[in-house]
Amino acid sequence: MLFLTSSVFAVPHGFTLRTGGVSQGPMASLNLGESVGDRPGHVQENLRLLAQSARQHPEQLATVRQVHGDRVVRAAPGAAEEADALWTEEGNGVWVGVKSADCVPVLLASADGRRVAAVHSGWRGTALRVAARAVEALVAQGAATSTLRAAVGPCIQACCYEVGPDLAERFRADFGDAVVRPGGTRPHLDLSGAVRATLLAAGLLPQHVDVQAACTACDAARFFSHRRDAGVTGRHLAFIAPAPLS
Ligand SMILES: [Zn+2]
């Protein structure tokens, strides 16, 4: 299996696992990151396998150069602007994706599937509420907030995400007590819970927001984890495509 899906979407989408690709060693096997030390030919073949499985054209995938900010751009294949979220709409065959290995990937779609977005939300992006900026971008294109669907993908969960006390307090102040869990010596942060709170505050309905439970750091068989693997690891792709023109 190459990717997990969410029941909130009717359009093509997925959160890739680390299985089913051709990369070796710490990149084994479905690494989709181009700047993590993997062989370019392997990354290219992994993307081809993914695109085939997702029924998309590999050259039509649009991504961004992720910089832990809150900028949202309209997708353009091959452009790779500095941003952490991108959106597209039906009609041009473009699909969008963000890469992660612990950070929170978020996918969004309008109810009719005509407009979609992908968001990379690490702790910095989560603090900046980048997911809400992506919601605003879709709403500016005509999507209704109350009908938007969102899936918050596999990431490092509170079980494994130890942080310093200052960051924990900042998140408690911004997102409420529920996003900080007492740990052994240091607090643990519930990043995907903070992203969920952001999406609800932006106007999405709870029944339209799916939060996946999988923890990238806990599950070495299925996921790359930057923290667990001390930075030497592959990247997942969270991707979504608009509904084709009917
Ligand atoms: Zn965990």
- CA dihedral in degrees (201, 211, 244, 237; nearest 10)? 110
Q: How far is the CA of 115 from the centre of ligand 1 (A)?
A: 32
Could you give the strand order of the β-sheet that contains 3-4, starting from the edge strand earlier in sequence?
3-4, 13-16, 236-240, 95-100, 61-62
Tell me whether residue 59 is in a domain. Answer: yes
How far, in Å, CA of 228 to CA of 216, rounded?
Answer: 9
Tell me whether residue 61 is in a domain. Answer: yes
Count of domains forming the chain: 1
Tell me whether residue 138 is in a domain. Answer: yes
Would you state the pLDDT for residue 80? Answer: 82
Tell me whether residue 185 is in a domain. Answer: no
Which domain, by its residues, includes 45? 3-155+208-240
Going by pLDDT thresholds of 50, 70 and 90, the confidence category of residue 246 is low
The residue whose two tokens read 């612990």 is: 102
Q: How far is the CA of 5 from the centre of ligand 1 (A)?
A: 20
The residue whose two tokens read 């990151």 is: 33
Q: In 10 A of CB 112, how many CB atoms?
A: 14
Q: How far is the CA of 207 from the centre of ligand 1 (A)?
A: 25
Q: How far is the CA of 218 from the centre of ligand 1 (A)?
A: 4
Question: pLDDT tens across 70-106, in order?
Answer: 999 999 988 789 999 999 999 889 999 999 999 999 9
Tell me the average pLDDT across 16-44: 97
Q: How far is the CA of 64 from the centre of ligand 1 (A)?
A: 27
Tell me whether residue 202 is in a domain. Answer: no
Would you state the pLDDT for residue 182? Answer: 86
Q: How far is the CA of 226 from the centre of ligand 1 (A)?
A: 12
Tell me the average pLDDT across 161-170: 96
Q: How far is the CA of 211 from the centre of ligand 1 (A)?
A: 15
Question: Rounded to a whole number, what is the largest CA-CA distance in the chain?
Answer: 56
Computed from CA positions of residues 198, 220, 241, 47, in that sequence, does the dihedral angle turn out positive or negative?
positive
User: Which domain CATH number covers 40?
Assistant: 3.60.140.10
Q: What is the DSSP letter of 175?
A: H
Q: How far is the CA of 97 from the centre of ligand 1 (A)?
A: 24
Q: How far is the CA of 213 from the centre of ligand 1 (A)?
A: 10
Q: How far is the CA of 184 from the centre of ligand 1 (A)?
A: 14
Q: How far is the CA of 156 from the centre of ligand 1 (A)?
A: 6
Report which of 202, 214, 108, 96 is spatially closest to residue 153, judged by C-alpha positions: 214
In the structure, ligand 1 is a single-atom ion and the residues with CB under 5 Å from it are: 157, 159-160, 215, 217-218
Question: pLDDT tens across 198-226, in order?
Answer: 999 999 999 999 999 999 999 999 999 99
Tell me whether residue 184 is in a domain. Answer: no
Report which of 92, 40, 100 is spatially closest to residue 64, judged by C-alpha positions: 100
Kindly tell me if the per-residue pLDDT of 65 is higher than 90. Answer: yes
Distances 100 to 85, 157, 165, 172, 199 between C-alpha atoms, Å: 12, 14, 24, 24, 19
User: What percent of the chain clears pLDDT 70, i.e. is strictly above it?
Assistant: 99
Would you state the pLDDT for residue 77? Answer: 85
Tell me whether residue 27 is in a domain. Answer: yes
Tell me whether residue 88 is in a domain. Answer: yes
Question: pLDDT tens across 104-155, in order?
Answer: 999 999 999 999 999 999 999 999 999 999 999 999 999 999 999 999 999 9
Decide: residue 32, CB within 10 A, 0-12 exposed, 13-18 middle, 19+ buried.
buried
Tell me the average pLDDT across 39-48: 98
